Structure 1
């Protein structure tokens, strides 16, 4: 059983490294493309929601989003109903990158699923979804300060 997390980790690190190399020329590094994609797909999303979607802490999200704003890829706008909340939107420059990011995701998905049947893909996806739901409970508890007991 211990191999499951190791395999998932290796897949994740391979994909992250490939993306960091491919996106270096467009000034996206260390997973910033993930933020840009989520903001593009959810116009007006707030920073806390982006952090929750990506399963990162608030400060990590804040740093990445700040860099996207500095590079002119994302803009922040005050919510008209809640002046404390800033809604996030892709700029035109950020939106222009989305098709490229989508093509990379589709290509990587093709590579990762090569020689795997559609049934295997569907089963794997269902299993990964269940695994994510299971670990999200722990993640939420840890964020609340609940210590895990092994």
Structure 2
């Protein structure tokens, strides 16, 4: 019997999530590759671009592009780190903060949608398994891009 590909279904889920986010965030001019930086800043505002990259396992160039676009759109601002003149600190603007509830509502709805038919225990178990798979993948690639 042929074994199902886990990667295939993770890929399908990820692509559908991108489509959903792009549709829901279109009026805000934010896309699926940028929203995650806002979400991370909602957890800890005023961190460096380098720390954002590390937190999200996204390379520095992609982070710089996303932050630059979010800055152009008025959602974040970058300032030189007073402790390290080479680094930028990224902080949310009022406009960025005002997006928090909207984005969190969209993410919550998506989680509910994809969890339909699962018990709370099954969903929690799945989260633990997908975290373990992510750690395995990061160990294999060492976070390289």
Aligned pair partner of 1:125 in 107, 110, 127? 127
1:45 aligns with 2:57: no
Q: Equivalents in 1 of 2:34, 2:77: separation in Å?
A: 14
Find the counterpart in structure 1 of residue 24 from structure 2.
22
C-alpha offsets along residues 28-80 of structure 1, whole Å, 9 cap, x if unaligned? 02421111111222112111221222222111111111000011110112222
Q: Equivalents in 2 of 1:72, 1:126: separation in Å?
A: 36
> What stretches of structure 1 move > 6 A for 4+ residues in a row?
none
Runs of at least 5 residues in structure 1 that lack an aligned partner in the other structure: 144-150
User: How many residue pairs end up in the alignment?
Assistant: 143
1:104 aligns with 2:101: no
Which secondary structure state, in structure 1, belongs to the residue aligned with residue 79 of structure 2?
Answer: strand
Q: Which moved more, 1:53-62 or 1:124-133?
A: 53-62
Higher relative contact order (CA 8 A, sep 6+): 2
Find the counterpart in structure 1 of residue 92 from structure 2.
90
Aligned-residue CA RMSD (Å): 1.5
CA distance change for structure 1 residues 139 and 50 in 2, over 3 Å: closer, same or farther? Answer: farther
